[in-house]
Amino acid sequence: MILGIIEHSEGQVSKLSLEMLHFGRGLAASTGKPLNAVIIGADAGSLVGQIADHGVDTVYTIEDARLTDYAPDAWAQAVAGMVGSHSPEAVIACGSEIGNEIMARIGARLDLPMAANALEVETGENYSMTRVRWGGSLLEEATLTASTKLLTVAQHAFEPAETGSGMPKVEAVSADINDADLVVRVVNRIVPEQDGISLTDAPIVVSGGRGVGSADGFASIVELAGMVGGAVGCSRAVTNNGWRPHSDQVGQTGARVAPNLYIACGISGASQHISGCAGSKAILVINNDKEAPILAKADYAVIGDLHEVVPAVIAEIKKRKG
Ligand SMILES: Cc1cc2nc3c(=O)[nH]c(=O)nc-3n(C[C@H](O)[C@H](O)[C@H](O)COP(=O)(O)OP(=O)(O)OC[C@H]3O[C@@H](n4cnc5c(N)ncnc54)[C@H](O)[C@@H]3O)c2cc1C
């Protein structure tokens, strides 16, 4: 089997997990093995319905009253135990911080190599794969040689897609988790204040960079985002200056977004920023430098001062909305 690890938090399976299952279906088809999944948590069984219709044959639920929230070593121990008992051909997880963390810990426990951020895999005795490296600025061709292949799936490379496969079979599995596996665990969550839609779910992201010039300069970016039903993003230059909170940052060390439209205002296009927005369906650049590197990624561009262009766009939207 191909075994996918389902990421979830606060009773919600992540969208990245559904992307990962899409990738997993391809892997299952090319190996002729079923795609199964494992859900770990105090109430894992209640989440099974959220992955119905995503091509999963059997879901293994590992329930333990102590696993009320994410605990990387405990999750890794649970999956490592399943590698021993169920001998999957491959274990796959999301290429998120959590997915990569769990997989690295599984690899360490089983003394197996792991490959992070896979885009394409040619199966066989060894897996030949293309994977994303250096925050998305290069693609690497690699070969994974291992008795059980451990890999994570590049974020936003696949869409979550329903197959109509219906409810998977459910099988409870026990795990040998001890107290030492629970030393690192989430004990509290502080949700940042947020007006409106979240950055990672927004269909439009209006993002500002150093070119915005100040915290006050973001007023027009915030206004535009509100008018188009979008969220505000920013570059690291902005968070370093304290103009916006880190939760708004897009990029290698911030959020990865894949909106229908990404509007980049006063952002130069460093690879560490692009890795966070490269999955956008379209990119509109507003920049006063016609040589700015981000123009190479732009579907649309306005060369001009954002302090003139953004207010003009707002005025035009207001005019059209009457
Ligand atoms: C390990 C590491 C991780 C990193 N992670 C991230 C990350 O997650 N996210 C991230 O963003 N960066 C990240 N960085 C930083 C990254 O390398 C860049 O320094 C940063 O993205 C630059 O931000 P910027 O484009 O806003 O600023 P700049 O590079 O200074 O670009 C400003 C742009 O604004 C334009 N401009 C100026 N004034 C105006 C105006 N009035 N109107 C229109 N355009 C104007 C300029 O032409 C320029 O193109 C990381 C760096 C490292 C080393």
Tens digit of each residue's pLDDT (9 = 90 or more) over 256-292: 899 999 999 999 999 999 989 998 999 999 999 999 9
CA–CA gap between residue 154 and residue 132 (Å, rounded): 7
Which residues form the domain of 240? 204-321
> What is the percentage of the chain residues whose pLDDT exceeds 70?
98
pLDDT given for residue 138 in this prediction: 83
Quick one: average pLDDT of 80-97? 97
CATH number at residue 44: 3.40.50.620
Find, among 139, 159, 133, 132, the residue nearest to 281 by Cα: 159
Whether residues 50 and 160 share a domain: the answer is: yes
Ligand 1: atom nearest CA of 235 is 11
Q: Residues with beta carbon inside 6 Å of ligand 1? A: 209-211, 235-237, 249-254, 266-268, 270, 272-273, 276, 286-289, 292, 305-307
Please indicate, yes or no, whether residues 154 and 223 belong to a single structural domain of this protein. Answer: no
Residues 174 and 238 in one domain: no
Q: Based on the fold, state whether residues 34 and 160 are members of the same structural domain.
A: yes
Ranges 23-27, 32-36, 163-167: which has the least confidence = 163-167
Q: Is residue 296 part of a domain?
A: yes
How many A from CA of 18 to the centre of ligand 1? 31
CA of 182 to the centre of ligand 1 (A): 39
Predicted local confidence at residue 321, as pLDDT: 87
Tell me how far the alpha carbon of residue 236 lies from the centroid of ligand 1, in angstroms: 7
Same domain, 156 and 29: yes
- Per-residue pLDDT for 156 more than 90? no
Within this chain, do residues 50 and 117 fall inside the same structural domain, yes or no?
yes
In a domain, residue 138? The reply is yes
- The total number of structural domains that make up the chain: 2
CA distances from 131 to 53, 155, 241, 258 (A): 27, 11, 33, 18
- The CA-atom distances, in angstroms, between 321 and each of 97, 196, 223, 318 are 41, 20, 15, 5
CATH number for the domain harbouring residue 212:
3.40.50.1220
The answer as to whether 194 is a domain residue is no
Q: Are 167 and 245 in the same domain?
A: no
Letter for the amino acid at 123? T
Nearest-angstrom CA–CA distance, 189 and 181: 20
Query: 201 falls in which pLDDT band (50, 70, 90)?
Result: confident
168 by DSSP, 3-state: which? Answer: coil
Residue 178, domain member (yes or no) = yes
pLDDT tops 80 at residue 320: yes
pLDDT in the model for residue 194: 67
Looking at the fold, whether 38 and 94 belong to one and the same domain comes out as yes
pLDDT at 229: 93
Cα separation, 92 vs 126, in Å, equals 15
Rounded mean pLDDT of the chain? Answer: 95
Token pair for 295: 């123009």
Task: Determine contact, residues 114/106, Cβ cutoff 8 Å.
Answer: yes
What pTM did the predictor assign? 0.75
- Answer yes or no: is pLDDT of 18 > 90: yes
Cα distance between residue 71 and residue 63, in whole Å: 13
Q: Which of the listed residues 128, 147, 182 is the one where a domain comes to its end?
A: 182
